Chains A and B, each alone.
Chain A
Amino acid sequence: MTAPDDLNGADRRDQIALLEDRLREANETLDAIRNGEVDALVVDGPAGQVVYALENADRPYRVLVESMKEGAVTLTGDGMILYSNARFAELVGRPAERVVGASLFDFVRQQDLLERMLAAGGGGESAELLLLDANGETIPVNVSVVELEIEDGAGRVLCGIVTDLSQNYARAREVAEANARLAAEIVERAKAEESLAIALDAADMGSWDLILATGEMHRSFSHDAIFGRVAHAERWTLETTIAHFAPEDRDAVRAAFESAPRKGRLEFERRIIREGDGAVRWVFVKGRTFYGDRGAERVAGVVADVTDRRLIDEQLRQAQKMEAIGQLTGGIAHDFNNLLMIIGGSLEALSRGQSFDERTQKFLAAARSGVARGAKLNQQLLAFARRQDMQVEVISVNDLLPTFETLLDRAMGETVVVRVRPGPGVWRCKTDPNQLETAILNLAINARDAMTGGGMLTLTTANVAVSDETAARWETSPGDYVEVCLTDTGMGMDAELIARAFEPFFTTKDVGRGTGLGLSQVYGFAKQSGGFVAIESTLGQGSSVSIYLPRSDAPLAGPRAAAAAPAEAADGAILLVEDDAEVRAASSAMLEALGYTVRVAANGPEALASLARDPHVALVFSDVIMASGMSGIELRRRIKTLHPDMPVLLTSGYTAHLIPDIEGASPLLHKPYTLDALGEAVKQAMCEQEQAVAPPA
């Protein structure tokens, strides 16, 4: 204590006062700290002043952290949780006391990712992780980690903010699902549109969509193609569509479109004049109206070219009509034959062996001529009905041409030039040459009548391979055919006329000039031969009719056997089998007139019974078709088993479809027959039987 000695008294007092102040201040500070009157202590550390907050100094921040919606944790560098706010404890579904002291790794699924985040730290790492709650459920969260600045040596402390993304995820999922639904709908719709387009394309249909407000039409490519437009037009309105229709159809088309908004639909089949080639085509248009908030907005639908279908329909209708007429004609011809038989037979029986005055003879002759004409007409009816007997043989048409040429020359007269042009190497075919001759004659007569002022008739032959398409059109089979074609330079026919040309009794000739059966015979004959007939004609430019006969590779038929010499005497008993009483009476009278004894039977069983009682008959003469059920053919078969030597002569109005098993030599007499024809047939049948039975001399 040497220094105080140097100080004077005043200085000392000042010094003491200062120290007292200092002491008081220090005491006050200590008291304040002790009494908790301070918030923080400031310590002079090596790295500068450090503030230690005391007591509740950080309370507002704690409240802030506790009440915020994010989870907040502080962690050691290796992930141990030092502090957890209530929200984080809530997120992981555990009480906070269990969370603090645990490792954050216990609550996170992606351990690797968390490890990397903690290792990096500091820079504010942020990542989306999945939290695991006490139930094992996962919660999507965003975790961001920052390193807390702590004094040196205290180890790393990290602060983590955990944001619950469940709601975001749920919303994102909803949006994603909505998007997926929408995308699926779009795909579905695109698929539907695509399949529709494919279907329309396959059906050769075009689609169109009319916007009523503007009159604008959206169309598919095939729509424009149907109307004949090759380049897809940019703009197409309802007026464009209407303008494509045939002038006489335009009003109807316009009316259909105008009424569509009211009716809700439209459908019509009308003609268009196709762009480009100017062809008249039938189109089918169908559509429906689509309504919006302000009424009808669009009319949309399809269009198809139905010309071919209409043509096929027309042909089918025609074929069905011809078939029906054929059936009808066949039936009529059968009855008609019986009537002629009665008249003819009665006339023959009446006039046999008697002499009449000149006047009576004249009338009888007229009556006979009438029967003969009726019979001829009937033959043509039967030809059309395809119920005529076909004497089918293999022939070469070219071989027959000279005969035909002579025939045509005679029929045509002097004003028409006849030319015959045989095709090279024409195939053989199977047909009835006599009917072919009749057919050509029928065609020639039509040609002559079409060339009133003279002209040229050309007969040609050729080989033709008929395609599937052509065959379908003419209702025949594809394959090789021989074509016999007659072409004239006459007035020709229009389409309507061609369509009806084959109908029986259809004629353009004056009453009494034609029967209307000529082309019908040609048609029936060709069909019955397994072929067909085609007509091509333009009004004013002549006609061309072709008969197609199926090719045959079989050898040509030899010359026909000459008819056997008739037996001289007409005697013996004949068993007549006929179900029509009047025909039976007429035939019986005719046979008696020829000198035969006649026994009659009304049907097959009756005939067999009669033969059983007395088999002594020279011949059985039977109708083929009888109402009782047993046909003449069946009767003949039974007789042959009982009496092989007994000759059987059959007669019929039409038989072709019924007698497939009659051998070529089997005698058949066509109704109606004359007395001479009957006599001849009976004699021949008896004679042939004798020849067949008699041993060779």
Chain B
Amino acid sequence: MTGDAPTKADRYVLRLFVTGSTNRSQRAIENMRKICEEHLAGRYDLEVIDVYQNPDATRDLQVVATPTLVKVLPEPLRRIIGDLSDRERVLAGLNIVPLGGGPETAS
């Protein structure tokens, strides 16, 4: 039980599901790292889960394919599939406004 996580509405809890050490999985991990460092520095909690090693972890979050990034918090829960190379789509999915300004804003 973490005490401060619920109070901070803007804290991100992210789960990235990958398959072993495939190229795509590695790209997904790398992309995610960059995005987190650039946009969510200091306010995210990322876990990378290998479905070969821990297939049951997919059940709760209803992951059907890998790689898949799941935004557990803040709600609503959101799944983004693929190697996360489409940064715009990822940011949109995460409800993050790009630092350089853009059409989308947080609701």
Contact = CB atoms under 8 A, between A and B. Distances in A.
Contact of A40 (B65, B78, B79): B65
B66 A29 contact: no
Contact of A53 (B19, B76, B79): B19
Contacts of A32: 65, 81-82
Nearest to B89: A28
Interface stretch (B7-15, B29-37, B53-61, B98-106): B53-61
Contacts of B67: 38-39
A28 B80 contact: yes
Interface string A8-43: 000000000010010001001100110001111111
Sorting the interface of chain A by its residue count into under 10, 10 to 19, 20 to 34 or 35 or more gives 20 to 34
Interface stretch (A44-52, A176-184, A479-487, A538-546): A44-52
Nearest to B58: A42
B52 to A, nearest CB: 6
Interface in B1-39: 17-22, 24-25
B46 interface: no
Contact of A21 (B24, B55, B76): B76
A33 B65 contact: yes
Contacts of B83: 37
A49 B22 CA distance: 20
Contacts, number: 78
A51 B51 contact: yes
Contact of A57 (B22, B76, B78): B22
Contact of B82 (A37, A41, A50, A51): A37
B64, B65, B81 — most chain A CB neighbours (10 Å): B65
B63 interface: yes
A18 B76 CA distance: 8
A682 to B, nearest CB: 147
Given A29-B65, A48-B56, A38 B25 contact: no
A355 interface: no
A56 interface: yes
Contacts of A59: 22
A41, A48, A56 — most chain B CB neighbours (10 Å): A41
Given A21-B76, A41-B65, A51 B21 contact: no
A50 B65 contact: no
A528 B63 CA distance: 135
Contact of A25 (B19, B59, B79): B79
Nearest to B82: A37
Contacts of A48: 55-56
B20 A42 contact: no
B51 A42 contact: yes
A49 B82 contact: no
Contacts of B76: 18, 21
A32 B67 CA distance: 10
A28, A40, A43, A48 — most chain B CB neighbours (10 Å): A40
B48 to A, nearest CB: 14
Contacts of B19: 39-40, 51, 53, 57
Given A32-B65, A48-B56, A51-B51, A38 B79 contact: no
Nearest to B21: A60
Nearest to A32: B81
B93 to A, nearest CB: 8
Nearest to B79: A25
B82 A42 contact: no
A51 B52 contact: yes
Nearest to A14: B76
Nearest to A33: B65
A59 B67 CA distance: 16
Contacts of B68: 38
A42 B81 contact: no
B7 to A, nearest CB: 24
Nearest to A36: B24
A42 B25 contact: no
A25, A42, A57, A60 — most chain B CB neighbours (10 Å): A42
B24 A42 contact: no
Contact of B66 (A38, A50, A60): A38
Nearest to A38: B65
A29 B51 contact: no
B8 to A, nearest CB: 23
Nearest to B59: A49
Contacts of B24: 37-39
B79 A29 contact: yes
Interface string A57-75: 1111000000000000000
A42 B21 contact: no
A497 to B, nearest CB: 115
A481 B43 CA distance: 137
A461 to B, nearest CB: 123
Contacts of B56: 48-49
Nearest to A41: B65
A476 B6 CA distance: 136
A310 B103 CA distance: 132
A628 B74 CA distance: 159
Contact of B81 (A29, A43, A50, A58): A29
Contacts of B63: 42
B22 A37 contact: no
Contact of B51 (A28, A37, A40, A58): A40
Contacts of A39: 18-20, 22, 24-25, 65-67
Contacts of B17: 42
B86 to A, nearest CB: 10
Nearest to B63: A42
A448 B19 CA distance: 134
A533 B25 CA distance: 123
A581 B62 CA distance: 159
Nearest to B53: A51
Contacts of A41: 64-66
A44 B66 contact: no
Interface string A371-401: 0000000000000000000000000000000
A39 B78 CA distance: 20
Contacts of B80: 28
B81 A49 contact: no
A58 B56 CA distance: 20
B66, B76, B79 — most chain A CB neighbours (10 Å): B66
Contacts of B18: 39
B63 to A, nearest CB: 6
A15 to B, nearest CB: 12
A49 B58 contact: yes
A42 B22 contact: no
Contacts of A44: 59
A37 B17 CA distance: 14
A42 B19 CA distance: 10
A394 B67 CA distance: 138
13 contacts: A21-B78, A32-B82, A33-B81, A37-B82, A38-B24, A38-B82, A41-B64, A41-B65, A41-B66, A42-B66, A51-B55, A53-B19, A57-B22
Given A37-B82, A42-B58, 15 more contacts: A28-B80, A29-B65, A32-B82, A38-B68, A39-B18, A40-B51, A40-B66, A42-B17, A42-B65, A42-B66, A43-B64, A49-B59, A51-B55, A56-B22, A60-B21
- List 6 tightest A-B contacts by C-beta distance, closest first: A49-B55, A39-B19, A38-B65, A32-B81, A40-B19, A37-B82
